Amino acid sequence: MEREVITLLSLREIDKMRQAGHLAAKLLHHLSSLVQPGVSTLKLNDEAEQWTQAHGAKSAPLGYKGYPKSICTSVNEVVCHGIPNAKQILKDGDIINIDVTVILDGYHGDTSRMFFVGEPSPIARKLVEVTDECRRRGIAAVKPGAKIGDIGAAIQEYAEAHGFSVVQDFVGHGISKVFHTAPQIPHYGKAGTGRRLRPGMVFTIEPMINEGTWEVKVLADKWTAVTLDRKLSAQCEHTLAVTETGVEILTPYPGEDIS
Ligand code: MF3
Ligand code: CO
Ligand code: CO
């Protein structure tokens, strides 16, 4: 297989990515207060679009490969790329992933997390907690000299140990001025395999963890990916930089220090 070029970012460019990433994280935090029973996913979208513009940035998803909205809102069995819709009203017990990507001064910040609408079922809570721990473990595998396969192995091992499965059809990705570029970051795989991580690499880790089968299906709208068995799916995402000593989370959740 051809060796793809993985661009290493300069410290100046990583600072641009940090500005964009922190803005994306702030947007996600801003939206969190709106997630309540009775709110439509379109309302979340419109608030995100307005907030992003007011902060001098652009919504990367809008118009990307024909995507029609500014954010992705993936509820319950939706794995990713759920399209906000006025008719989709959040209800008590739903779980929702909100995925935002902003472009600030040409650079992308891409992040997502899960929210509970009211009270989740025990299995929904467990799935979200396991997915969140997969995020931590995946990030903990990132350091110079480690390999891309170490990330997926850490995530897959933890998810499967809890009886869940890892989506294979969507992967993390290099990101900078370009939304999706090399390298691909699978959330499954074998430790010690794949390309070596080097300082200056910037990519996302965005595991999608399913309650049942790992298999997904894309609906007729060409975007919405759902679990094949229609059981629950959860996801969280950060944009990260490999540093000289380890990793920097470029999209830190406000008020949370895990980097
Ligand atoms: N934010 C998504 C990601 O994590 C991509 C969304 S692309 C869109 O890579 F077109 F669906 F918005
Ligand atoms: Co992404
Ligand atoms: Co994203």
The full set of domains in the chain, from first to last, is 11-249 (3.90.230.10)
The set of protein residues with a Cβ atom below 6 angstroms from ligand 1 is 61, 64-65, 67, 72, 81, 99, 101, 110, 204, 206, 223, 237
> Which residues of the chain are modeled with pLDDT < 50?
258-259
88-92, long-range: CB < 8 A, 24+ apart = 88/40, 88/41, 88/42, 89/38, 89/39, 89/40, 90/35, 90/36, 90/37, 90/38, 90/39, 90/40, 90/41, 90/117, 91/37, 91/38, 91/117, 91/118, 92/37, 92/117, 92/118, 92/119
Residues comprising the binding site?
A: 81, 99, 110, 173, 180, 206, 237
Residue 204 CA: which ligand 1 atom is closest?
4
Ligand 1 pocket test, pick from 110, 114, 167, 180 with the greatest ligand atom count within 8 Å of Cβ, gives 110
pLDDT for position 259:
42
Q: Note the pLDDT of residue 256.
A: 67
Q: pTM of the prediction?
A: 0.98
- pLDDT tens sequence across 16-38: 999 999 999 999 999 999 999 99
